[in-house]
Every structure is written in C-alpha cells, then in structure tokens.
Amino acid sequence: MNKRDFGSFHASNVEELIFLSEENYQPPDIPIKLPDFSEYQNEVVTFGKKIKQKHFVLGEDYTFINHGAFGAVIKDVLLVAQVENCLLAGLHDNTRLVVVDHIPSNTPFIMPIKEITDICHERNIKVLVDGAHALGQLDLNLKELDADFYATNCHKWLSACKGTALLYVTKPYQEIMMPLVISHGYDSGFISRFSWTGLHDYSPFLALHTALDFWISLKPATIRKYMHTLAKQVGDMLAETWETELLASSDMIGSMFCVQLPKVIYKHLVQVCYDHAETIQNILYHKFNIEVPVKVINNALYVRVSVHIYNTIEDYQHLAQAVIAIMGQDGLLQEADVPN
C-alpha cells in the first residue's frame, strides 16, 4: 500500500499533499489494522474459484460475468470499512465501558483490539477484553494492546488445569477492583486482595508452572507457527472438499476457524436452528468419534475447527470424509417448529 493512499482525507490541499517531498511527508495514523496479503508474495496464486471464495463478496448461487457494471467487493476491504463504523455506531455519549472478545468463540477471527482500544480511549471510554481464546493462540503483549482490563484463562489453549486464569488491570483501576469473595489480604493491595479468596482450590495454580515450562521448552513462536500454518492448510482443504467457504480469511484467524458445511445437508430447511447443529455434532461424535462444535451462523451450518500441536492433517481428513458420509443420509434434518 502506498503510504499516501489515505492522504486526501487528511490534507486541506490535495495538490500540496501530492508535491510534498518524502522527507516532509508524515503519514496519518490509520485506526484500523489493514489486511496482510504477504502470503501471495512467496507462492503461486491460484485464480478462479478458490480466490473468489476467499476474498470476494460474491454469492455461490450466481455466475458473475459483469464486473464492469457492478464490480465485486473484496471481503478484506469491506472488513476494514466496517470495523470502525460498527464500533462507532454502538458508542453513545453515556458509554463508559466497551466489552469485546479478542477471539469470539462462535465466530473465531482475531479482533483488532489495539485499534478498538484507541477509538474508545479517544472518547474516554474504558475497554474490557475477553481473551479466553487468545492465550496460547496469539503473541500477547498486554501493554501494547493498551486495554484497561484483560481477562483470559489457562485451561484452553495453554492446556493447564481448569480454574487457572489471568486478570490484567491497569494501575489506575487496581484500587477499585474487588474479588467476589473478600478474605485475607483484602486491605494489602491489588495482588494480595485476589491471592486468597476463601476456600478456593489452589492446586491448579501450583501446577501452572509445569504447563508454562512445557510450552517454553517447545518455544511459543514455533508452536503458534505450526498451529496457524496447519489451520490455514486445513481450512483450505475442508472448503475445497466440501465446496463451501471459510467464515473469515486466513489472515484473520489464529488456530481456530469456522468453515461452512455442505449446503446439501440443510438446503431444504427454511430456517436452520440449534437443534440441527446439535444433530450433526452428535452424529460426528457418536458415529465417527470426532469432537467438534457445529454452529448456526446466518442461517447456515458451520463447524468450528481448532488446531493444536497434537493435531495433524489426517485428523481433518477424517472430518472431511465423515461429513461427506453424512451428506448421503436423506431426511437427516427436519424443519423445526418456529413459533409465530
């Protein structure tokens, strides 16, 4: 991207901007993290259906051969345009706190937390981030994200015992943060206040260092690279095998993503609901020994796929073939009763 692409929105005189020397030009701060297409610099790009599904807002049921009249919006461009607008639309004069997922559970793509935080702080609005799926998937730097409050857990991607979690609070708000249970250490500062909360079982915390030693010995950057690389490979494979599409492009995910199930499974349904998702999920579990959640998003069925260091491509090939087997079952899903 040319660094002056956004310039005309930040200068009173466009000609002055154009003829300004490189030494004197200062690019504006862009409040949205732009998509990264660097993956295409080192690989042969496959044009056609694959790039259509990944990057263009085009319906699968139509053949578009009239680009000159209507054009076709690139998904990544649309996202950049929408993120700030969606956030601003929800902010009001009396908004005091914004709560946002770092990686939403149902729609697992990485939210631009730093950009969201900057927008909120400009309006004196505090930010609380739910980072349940972030620790272990992302290279977290909480100071750089600059959220006022950040909560995450250690039992998901870090694979520690349940009950271990992390609460990050910036210094201005540590004095007003109180635990649900007041006990020993209540008046001894922020950390002491949360260190002893009644009869809590501390054995998971005492075992946490073992989990940390494990991940550090395997090198976190190497772990994240393996998981993300495999996730990208798996996403492309499933979408191609099922002739569907990913919910978000690979540059927006960590190690977890949603891919649409083949439409033939539910195309006869007027309205897709949770019961339909649960039916497919139970079949995958009980018949094929596959543990994977099935989601309803925009009246379509998706599987939410996770990739960890114990996974290989064979795990997901098993999933791909299991779904193909399900496609051949007639009358699997019935129209649900919808209240008037």
| pLDDT over 90 percentage in the chain | 52
Helix intervals (H) in the chain: 14-18, 49-55, 67-70, 75-90, 113-122, 142-145, 190-195, 203-206, 208-218, 220-242, 274-288, 313-327
Which H or E run includes 128?
A: strand 126-130
The β-bridge relationship of strands 126-130 and 300-306 is unpaired
| pLDDT per residue as tens digits for the range 241-299 | 999 999 988 888 999 999 999 999 998 889 999 999 999 999 999 999 999 999 999 99
Q: Which letter does DSSP use for residue 56 in this model?
A: B
| pLDDT per residue as tens digits for the range 162-208 | 889 999 999 999 999 998 888 877 888 888 888 878 788 888 888 88
Q: Which residues contact 248 (CB under 8 A, 6 or more apart)?
A: 107, 108, 109, 257, 258
Q: How far apart are CA 147 and CA 90, in angstroms?
A: 18
208-218 vs 220-242: helix crossing angle, rounded to 10: 80
Task: Please state the φ and ψ torsions of residue 277, each to the nearest 5 degrees.
Answer: -65, -40
Q: How far apart are CA 115 and CA 96, in angstroms?
A: 17
C-beta neighbour count of 302 within 10 angstroms: 23
In 3-state terms, what secondary structure has residue 336? coil
